[in-house]
């Protein structure tokens, strides 16, 4: 079923087996412009930009997911199911729930906790925690160590809501469920990988801290989280 309603690539070969997936289409473009060689754009439908190129001579794709679980649910499903993609590594921004995490710190989401109904509705999954791929995580941890980039391996919160009326609720989610930071896509990505027999991981960079009030600009979130990008790019094959 390709092209799909949301991805215009006409054959599978246009997309590599491993896809890096930021929420922001312009973060995808930044990576293609600054890190990849021999780049070909394979998607511009809805401005959700997708590119394939080489990194240090090895092939890799980068495509945006948009924001939220419904959006990454669509793109990751189409890539896994119809384009033969095997590995998706989300590279996102997140809000830290603890003062110990500093802006620009990198987190590897070992598992995602969520109150979202995404996994239940999509495939009848009843639990509220889903793990990322242990194999991908092991590789990412090794790469980070080789690059000398510290990473925090932890459980994160995948939320459907960016602006909560009760801001202080994050403390309960942190303390009760053990989540160190919040983002909005990993739970759905991990679920799609599981039901389709594929692999998914999620690297995050701290863009703001709910405990201290520190925050980065939209420009930094788009272009400056390069440590996370460099770790993920080493997954090129
Ligand atoms: O920076 P990205 O990858 O979009 O990730 C985070 O940023 C967005 C909210 O600002 C949500 O998509 C959240 O998950
Ligand atoms: O989902 C997100 C991403 C960054 N910062 C937040 O507070 N939430």
Q: Contact, 204 vs 2, CB < 8 A?
A: no
Q: How many CB atoms neighbour CB 218 within 10 A?
A: 11
pLDDT, tens digit, for every residue of 162-210?
Answer: 999 999 999 999 999 999 999 999 999 999 999 999 999 999 999 999 9
In a domain, 34, yes or no: yes
Six-digit token pair at 96? 């830290």
Ligand 2 contacts CB of residue 94 (under 6 A): yes
Residue 2 lies in a domain: no
The three-point CA angle 159-165-169 to 5° equals 60
Q: What is the pLDDT of residue 130?
A: 98
**Would residue 54 count as lying in a domain?**
yes
Is 108 a domain residue?
yes
The ligand whose atoms approach the alpha carbon of 189 most closely is 1
Q: CATH number of the domain that 228 lies in?
A: 3.40.50.1580
Identify whether 69 is part of a domain: yes
Whether 14 and 52 have beta carbons less than 8 Å apart is answered as yes
Contact 96, 27 (CB under 8 A): no
ipTM: 0.98
18-21 and 58-63: which strand pairing?
A: parallel
Best of 30, 67, 70, 95 for a ligand 1 pocket test (most atoms within 8 Å of beta carbon): 67
Which pLDDT value is given to residue 87?
98
- Could you give the residue numbers annotated as active site? 208
Which residues span the domain enclosing 20?
A: 12-233
> What residues of the chain score a pLDDT lower than 50?
none
Is 7 a member of any domain?
Answer: no
Could you tell me if the CB of 95 is within 6 A of ligand 2? yes
Tell me if 3 is assigned to some domain. no
The pLDDT value given to residue 35: 98
Q: Dihedral of CA 164/169/171/174: which sign? A: negative
Instruction: Please give the pLDDT value at position 1.
Output: 85
The atom number, within ligand 2, closest to the CA of 210 reads: 7
pTM above 0.90, yes or no: yes
pLDDT for 132 equals: 98
Q: In the chain, how many domains are there?
A: 1
Q: How far apart are CA 126 and CA 110, in angstroms?
A: 19
4 is a domain residue: no
């Amino acid at each position: 079923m390709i092209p799909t309603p949301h991805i215009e690539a006409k054959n599978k070969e246009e997309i590599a087996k491993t896809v890096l997936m930021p929420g922001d289409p312009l973060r995808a473009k930044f990576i293609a412009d600054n890190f990849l060689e021999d780049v070909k754009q394979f998607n511009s439908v809805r401005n959700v930009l997708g590119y394939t190129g080489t990194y240090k001579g090895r092939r890799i794709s980068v495509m945006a997911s948009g924001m939220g679980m419904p959006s990454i649910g669509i793109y990751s499903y189409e890539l896994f199911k119809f384009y033969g993609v095997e590995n998706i590594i989300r590279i996102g921004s997140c809000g830290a729930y603890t003062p110990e995490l500093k802006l620009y710190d990198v987190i590897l989401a070992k598992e995602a906790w969520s109150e979202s109904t995404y996994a239940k509705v999509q495939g009848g999954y009843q639990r509220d925690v889903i793990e990322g791929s242990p194999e991908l995580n092991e590789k990412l941890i090794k790469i980070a160590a080789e690059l000398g980039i510290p990473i925090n391996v932890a459980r994160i919160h995948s939320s459907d809501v960016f602006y909560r009326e009760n801001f202080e609720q994050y403390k309960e989610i942190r303390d009760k469920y053990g989540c160190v930071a919040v983002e909005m896509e990993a739970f759905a990505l991990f679920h799609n990988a599981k039901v389709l027999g594929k692999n998914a991981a999620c690297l995050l960079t701290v863009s703001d801290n709910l405990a201290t009030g520190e925050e980065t600009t939209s420009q930094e979130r788009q272009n400056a989280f390069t440590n996370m990008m460099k770790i993920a790019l080493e997954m090129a094959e």
